[in-house]
Structure 1
Amino acid sequence: MATIVDVIFVGTGTSGAVPNISCLTHPDKKCKVCISAMTPEGRKNMKKNTSMIVRYKKNGDSPNARLRTVLIDCGKTFYDSALHIFPKYGIRELDAVVLTHGHADACYGMDGLRQWTLGGAVQKSIDIYLNDETMEVVQRTFPFLVDAKNATGGGDVATFNYKIISPDTPFTIEGLEFMPLPVHHGIYLSTGKPYWCFGFKMNDISYISDTNFIPEETMKRMLSSPNRVFVIDCLRSK
């Protein structure tokens, strides 16, 4: 068991992030949001790939123990976000990284995690929780992060321990249970079948970062116990 102390949004932007280079270089400068994101007063409009940190105390931890820290998703802009977020909130060690799906905005920042494990700078390794499909993406995209024998150059790569999760089985990280919330995230264009993405319920907090449809069974699972906080990506009425 664990008590969640806080959640920190590492990023709340689109897969391409904001600002968009096409807006910044447009001769007419029509996009006020992207243009303003480059100014001190408009910096709040600078949005990185969607990601969240959960910090909590495991039952039995001493009052002075560090907060357990789990990062959900590690997309293309993760390291840039971490340079701001981690020092600001005094975050150093990661107990785990949980990946919602295998798209670039969710996992293409994994190589940046080498700064945590190289030479044991912060920790010896990081546990990565992901499903089989996302694991296949990681193996294709970052073969050197799965087997260091595939590394080139200086061979400096992150050290990960991969933990495969399933859509119907809760898992526990340092006392905090994560209940998978499988949702649709678009379709496979070749087959028309849904592409699945994971949300997660942690105690009374539900987090769904990238969906266009929530199946009835997933909704029932999420509502099977009270929700104090429900985080979901942007909605659009039809």
Structure 2
Amino acid sequence: MTITFLGTGTSQGVPVIACDCEVCTSVDTRDKRLRTSILIESPDKTVVIDSGPDFRYQMLRSGVKHLDAIVFTHEHKDHVAGMDDIRAFNYKQQGAVDIYADARVQLALRREFPYIFDDKGYPGIPQIDLHSIDLNPFDIGSIHFTPIEVMHYKLPVLGFRINDFTYITDAKTVTETEKQKIRGSKILVINALQKQMHISHFTLDEAMAFAEDIGAETTYFTHISHRLGKHEEIAEELPAGIKLAYDGLKLEI
């Protein structure tokens, strides 16, 4: 199974519009971060977790020719805004794309994309098969997902464990019960927004403490703001076993 980081940036992406800071003006390609998303490719299924505003470009940049499903972590715009662009896959595959979301996210999708769900049948709209998920494990083909609930300030957000790989974005707090689902993962992906305290995201120090607590063989940080610093410089500050993810990074699990 291959995991590709389609985007590793925060809600504004990096560079940020109209920002002239050293990160936003960096020539290092690792400092160019689209909105957070990953691509999962197994022998039988191709799945994306979250389709943010950069979804169309992410599919083009990564050369994705087939998509079976999108799994949503939560309803914020930087995670759902690009769902309309599954239309190209509908046309090529001559069928619907499976969408996996909890009840609250489904309500948000209906507000964001009402034309998909009405009974007018307008031609050319995205075709989806909607699947409800909660905290119970579920399968997409051979890919087994174990949902993990984390708190994004006061908003519940889903992370997912797939075999020995755990992927979490937008976390600020995680209960011990949910941590038990993560323990034993060989690869952990967790958000590390910036060094300064933030109300709804792990800081760099908080993310490192969380990584140490979980004890995965390798931890990758994602959902990174331009305020964190340049990739090359921050990477040198990290302890062994902890790395910054970057757009285009591929992992074999």
Alignment of 1:45 with 2:45, yes or no, is no
- Which residue pairs with 1:227 in the alignment? 185
Using the TM superposition, name which of 177-186 and 76-85 deviates more: 76-85
Structure 1 residues 134-149: aligned runs within 5 Å: 134-147=105-118, 149=120
Q: Secondary structure at the match of 1:79?
A: helix
Q: Secondary structure at the match of 1:21?
A: coil
Q: Give the distance between the partners of 1:200 and 1:148, measured in 2 at CA.
A: 33
Structure 1 residues 49-64: aligned runs within 5 Å: 49-57=35-43
Q: Secondary structure at the match of 1:101?
A: coil
Alignment of 1:9 with 2:5, yes or no, is yes
Percent of aligned pairs with the same amino acid: 32
Deviation at 1:95, TM superposition (A): 1.8
Q: Give the distance between the partners of 1:156 and 1:233, measured in 2 at CA.
A: 36
Provide, for residues 183-216 of structure 1, a one-character-per-residue CA deviation record: whole Å limited to 9, x for no partner.
0012xxxxxxx21000000111111012111111
Going from structure 1 to structure 2, the CA distance change for 1:9 and 1:42 (only over 3 Å counts) comes to: same
Q: Give the distance between the partners of 2:141 and 2:121, measured in 1 at CA.
A: 31
Q: What residue ranges of structure 1 are gaps of 5+ in the alignment? A: 24-28, 58-66, 187-193
TM-score of the pair, normalised by structure 1: 0.78
Q: After TM superposition, what 4+ stretches of structure 1 lie above 3 angstroms from structure 2?
A: none
C-alpha contact (below 8 Å) 2:42/2:142 kept by paired residues: no
C-alpha contact (below 8 Å) 1:171/1:178 kept by paired residues: yes
Q: Give the distance between the partners of 1:149 and 1:209, measured in 2 at CA.
A: 36
TM-score of the pair, normalised by structure 2: 0.73
Provide, for residues 65-108 of structure 1, a one-character-per-residue CA deviation record: whole Å limited to 9, x for no partner.
xx5211100011111222111x2xxx311121100000001111
- Which residue pairs with 1:158 in the alignment? 126
C-alpha contact (below 8 Å) 1:92/1:122 kept by paired residues: no
Structure 1 residues 85-96: aligned runs within 5 Å: 85=62, 87=63, 91-96=64-69
C-alpha contact (below 8 Å) 2:45/2:140 kept by paired residues: no
Instruction: Report the AA paired with residue 131 of structure 1.
Output: D
Larger relative CO (CA 8 A, sep 6+): 1 or 2? Answer: 2
Going from structure 1 to structure 2, the CA distance change for 1:51 and 1:7 (only over 3 Å counts) comes to: same
Deviation at 1:114, TM superposition (A): 1.0
- Which residue pairs with 2:104 in the alignment? 133
Instruction: Report the AA paired with residue 21 of structure 1.
Output: I
- Which residue pairs with 1:60 in the alignment? none
Q: Which of the residues 50, 68, 89 maps onto 2:45? A: 68
Alignment of 1:171 with 2:129, yes or no, is no
Structure 1 residues 11-26: aligned runs within 5 Å: 11-23=7-19
- Which residue pairs with 1:113 in the alignment? 86
Deviation at 1:116, TM superposition (A): 0.9
Task: Compare CA radii of gyration and give the structure with the larger one.
Answer: 1
Alignment of 1:33 with 2:6, yes or no, is no
